[in-house]
Chains A and B, each alone.
Chain A
Amino acid sequence: MSELIQFIFSGLTNGAIYALIALGFTIVYNATEVINFAQGEFVMLGAMFMATFCALGLPIPLAFFLSVGIVALIGIIMERLAIYPARHASHITLIIITIGLSILIKGVAMFAWGKDPLSVPSFLGDTPIHLLGATIVPQKILVLIATLICVLLMELFFRKTMVGKAMRASAVNRLAARLVGIKVEPLVLLAFALSAATSAVAGVVISPITFATYDMGTLLGLKGFSAAVLGGLTSGLGAVVGGFVLGLLEAFAAGFISSAYKDAAAFVILILVLLLKPEGLFGKGATKKL
C-alpha cells in the first residue's frame, strides 16, 4: 500500500511537469499550428536561470519570477527571429526550424553553463513528509501546487479576460477573428511568451529534485509533446489530463514492469494514440482521413 502511494505521488509530480509542458505545446499550437519542438528547452532554461540566481544568493521568490520572466522574453525573441520570418513556409519547414532552435538553444546552454549538473536548493527545506506510510519530499508537493496554480491562472486568463478570449477566437478561426477586429500578430507573440513561461515554471520547480543540466529539456519536451497529443493538441484541459495520465502510467511502468524502460512508456502511448485515436482524448473534431 505504501509502495502504491509512493508510485502515485512520483507519478503525479512528473505528471504535473508533463502537464505544464503539454500546456505550452497547446498554447503555441492553437495560436500558430506550429508544433514547437524547442518547448523542452524552455524547461531547461527555466531550471538553469533558477540555478544561477540561487547561486548568486537571490531570494527564492525573486529568482523564480526573474527566471520565468527571462524565459518568456526568450520565447518572444524566438518567435520574432525564427518563426515570424518563416510564417508562410510549409509545416515541415516550421517543424525543422523548431528542432534546429532546440539544438541551438541546447548548444548555447552547454556553452554558457557547462556540462555539469547545477544544484538548486529546495524551496521548503529537505525534511521529508510522511503520508500514509509513504515518504514524500516537500518539493514534490510544491510542484503539484505550483502546477495547479499555473493551470488555474491560464484557465482564468483564457476564459475571463478579453485578451484570452481573443486568443481563443483566433485559434478557432484566424480570418474571422481578424474580421471582428482582433489583431492576431501580438497574440501570437503573447502565446509564445505564455508557453515559454509555463514551461519555465515547470523547469524552475523541478530543478531542486532533478538538478539543472543543459540536456534535460529534450526528453522532457518530447514527453510533454506525447502528453499534448494524448490530450488532443488543441485542448488545454486535455493537455493537463494527458500530462497526469502519462506521469502516472510512467510511474506504474517503472514500479511494476522495469525502471529501465520507463522512458519508453510515454512514446508507446504516443504511438498508440496516433494509431488508435489520432484526435486525442479531448481534441476537436475527427482527424481528417484521406
Chain B
Amino acid sequence: MKNQYLALTFLAVVILTIGFLNHNDYYFNILNILFLKGLIVIGLSLLMGYAGQVSLGHAAFYGLGAYTSGILTAKFGWGCLPALGVAQLVTFIAALMIGLPALRLKGHYLAMATLGFGVIVYIFFKELISLTGGPSGLVGIPPLEILGKVFMESREYYFLFGGILFLALLGALHLAHSPFGRGLLAIHDSEAATVSLGYDTNRLKLIVFLLSAALAGLAGSLYAHFAMFIAPTSFTFLHSVKLVTMVVIGGVASLWGALLGAAVLTILPEVLTVFEDYDVLVFGAILVLIMIFLPEGLFKGLGKWIGQFRHKIAT
C-alpha cells in the first residue's frame, strides 16, 4: 500500500494543480466527464479484474442513476440529495435482481444477463416518454445543490468530482489489498481453490457487482446535474462496451490501468476530431488489437514487450 499512497498523493497534487492553474472551461468539462467515467471503471475494474466477471450493461446502471435523479428533481421538484439517495436505491435493487440469480451459475451468465438488462433499460428510457422525455431527452434538470451550495461553474464541479473520484479510488485500493480483495483475486485464478480456503465466492462476487453498479449509478446522478440534460443515446449497449474497453485497455486487474484507459478513451476522441463519425471504427480496432496482442492491457503488455526486446538485444 505504501507505493499506492505515493501514487495517490501524486494524483491529488495533479488534480489540484490543474484545478488552480487552468482557466479554460472546455478542459474542465472534459476532465469532469473523465472523472465520472473514472468512477464507473473503478467499480468495473474490481468486477472484471478481481472477480473475473464482466458486465455488458453498466451504461444502464449509469443511466438509471442519471434518469432517477433527473426525473425526481426536474419533474417532481425533489432536492438533489434525496433524489440521489433514491437513485442509489434503484440502481442497487436493479443490480440485485440481475446479480443474485446470474452469479449463482458458473460461466458468463452475468455478461449475458447484464447485456439483456442494458438493452431493456435503454428501450424504456427511449419509450417512457411521459417520464423520460423520450429520444429527445430530459430537460430542466437543476444544477447540483448540496446543503445550500449550488454548483454552477465547471471548476466547482471539477473539484467535487475530482474529490469523489479520489475517495473512490482510495477506497477501492484499500478493498483490493484487503483480505476481501485477495479473495476476489483468487476467484479470478481458481474459484474452486478459493472456496476451499473458506471464502463464500458467490457473496464476494455479488458484493463487488453491487458496488460497481452503485458507483455507476452515483456517476449517473452526478452527470445528470452537471450536464442538466440527459438523452437515451448516452446509455446504449455501445456505451457499456466502451466502459468495458476502458478497463481492458488498462489491463483488467489494475485500478490505475482502468483510470488510464478511461483517460485515453475520453481524451482521444477530443483530440482525434478528424475521425468524426469514424471514431467508432478506430475504437473497435483498438479493442481487437489490444485483446489479441496485449491481453494483459496496454501498459503491462507494452512493458513486457520492451523487456523481451531488451532481452533479445542482450543475448
CB distance from B247 to the nearest CB of A (A): 10
Query: Which 8 A-B pairs give the minimum distances between C-beta atoms?
Result: A107-B281, A103-B284, A100-B287, A104-B284, A100-B288, A267-B116, A270-B116, A288-B106
Of A11-19, A147-155, A164-172, A256-264, the one contacting chain B is A256-264
User: Does A287 contact B105, Cβ atoms closer than 8 Å?
Assistant: yes
Q: How far is the CA of A95 from the CA of B120 in the complex (A)?
A: 21
Counting residue pairs across A and B whose Cβ atoms lie within 8 Å, the total is: 141
Q: Which residues from chain A contact B105 at a C-beta distance below 8 Å? A: 274, 278, 287-290
Q: Which residues from chain A contact B104 at a C-beta distance below 8 Å? A: 289-290
CB distance from A115 to the nearest CB of B (A): 8
Closest B residue to A260 by CB, please name it.
Answer: B127
With A105-B284, A264-B124 already in contact, 6 other A-B pairs whose C-beta atoms are closer than 8 Å: A92-B48, A92-B52, A92-B111, A97-B292, A104-B284, A108-B281
Q: Which residues from chain B contact A284 at a C-beta distance below 8 Å? A: none
Q: Is A106 an interface position by the 8 A CB rule?
A: yes
User: Does A264 contact B288, Cβ atoms closer than 8 Å?
Assistant: no
User: Does B281 contact A96, Cβ atoms closer than 8 Å?
Assistant: no
Which of B52, B107, B116, B288 is in CB contact (< 8 Å) with A288?
B107
User: Does B292 contact A86, Cβ atoms closer than 8 Å?
Assistant: yes
User: Does B237 contact A222, Cβ atoms closer than 8 Å?
Assistant: yes
Closest A residue to B293 by CB, please name it.
Answer: A85
B residues 222-257 touching A (CB-CB < 8 Å) = 237-238, 241, 244-245, 248, 252
Q: Which residues from chain A contact B293 at a C-beta distance below 8 Å? A: 85
Q: Is A101 an interface position by the 8 A CB rule?
A: yes
Q: Is A102 an interface position by the 8 A CB rule?
A: yes
Which of A91, A103, A268, A271 is in CB contact (< 8 Å) with B287?
A103
Residue numbers of A with Cβ under 8 A of B are 35, 82, 85-86, 89-93, 95-97, 99-108, 110-111, 115, 218, 222, 225-226, 229, 258, 260-261, 263-264, 267-268, 270-271, 274-275, 278, 287-290
> When A222-B115, A271-B116 are in contact, do A107 and B280 touch as well, CB less than 8 Å?
yes
B residues 258-303 touching A (CB-CB < 8 Å) = 277-278, 280-288, 291-293, 295
CB distance from B293 to the nearest CB of A (A): 8
Closest A residue to B287 by CB, please name it.
Answer: A100
Q: Is B82 an interface position by the 8 A CB rule?
A: no
Q: Contact size class for B?
A: 35 or more
Interchain Cβ contacts under 8 Å between A and B, 8 examples:
A95-B108, A101-B284, A106-B280, A110-B278, A226-B116, A288-B107, A289-B105, A290-B105
Which of A278, A289, A290 is in CB contact (< 8 Å) with B191?
A290
CB distance from B37 to the nearest CB of A (A): 18
Q: Which residues from chain B contact A35 at a C-beta distance below 8 Å? A: 108
CB distance from B44 to the nearest CB of A (A): 12
Q: Is B69 an interface position by the 8 A CB rule?
A: no
User: Does B123 contact A263, Cβ atoms closer than 8 Å?
Assistant: yes
User: Does B291 contact A91, Cβ atoms closer than 8 Å?
Assistant: no
User: Does A85 contact B292, Cβ atoms closer than 8 Å?
Assistant: yes
Q: Which residues from chain A contact B278 at a C-beta distance below 8 Å? A: 107, 110-111
User: Does A89 contact B112, Cβ atoms closer than 8 Å?
Assistant: no
Q: From DSSP, what is the main secondary structure of chain A's interface residues?
A: helix
Q: Is B29 an interface position by the 8 A CB rule?
A: no
Q: How far is the CA of A7 from the CA of B245 in the complex (A)?
A: 40
Q: Is B109 an interface position by the 8 A CB rule?
A: yes
> When A91-B108, A95-B111 are in contact, do A274 and B201 touch as well, CB less than 8 Å?
no
User: Does B109 contact A278, Cβ atoms closer than 8 Å?
Assistant: yes
Q: Is B171 an interface position by the 8 A CB rule?
A: no
Q: Which residues from chain B contact A275 at a C-beta distance below 8 Å? A: 101-102, 113
User: Does A264 contact B123, Cβ atoms closer than 8 Å?
Assistant: yes
User: Does B287 contact A99, Cβ atoms closer than 8 Å?
Assistant: yes
Q: Which residues from chain A contact B248 at a C-beta distance below 8 Å? A: 96
Q: Which residues from chain B contact A287 at a C-beta distance below 8 Å? A: 105-107
Which of A103, A115, A274 is in CB contact (< 8 Å) with B109?
A274
User: Does A268 contact B120, Cβ atoms closer than 8 Å?
Assistant: yes
CB distance from B51 to the nearest CB of A (A): 11
Q: Which residues from chain B contact A270 at a C-beta distance below 8 Å? A: 112-113, 115-116
Q: Is B117 an interface position by the 8 A CB rule?
A: yes
Which of A89, A97, A111, A267 is in CB contact (< 8 Å) with B120?
A267
Q: How far is the CA of A85 from the CA of B117 in the complex (A)?
A: 31
Q: Is B33 an interface position by the 8 A CB rule?
A: no
Q: Is B119 an interface position by the 8 A CB rule?
A: yes
Find the residue from A96, A108, A278, A289 having the highest chain B CB count within 10 A. Answer: A96
Closest A residue to B288 by CB, please name it.
Answer: A100
Which of B112, B284, B286 is in CB contact (< 8 Å) with A229?
B112
Find the residue from B104, B238, B284 having the highest chain A CB count within 10 A. Answer: B284
Q: How far is the CA of A88 from the CA of B85 in the complex (A)?
A: 44
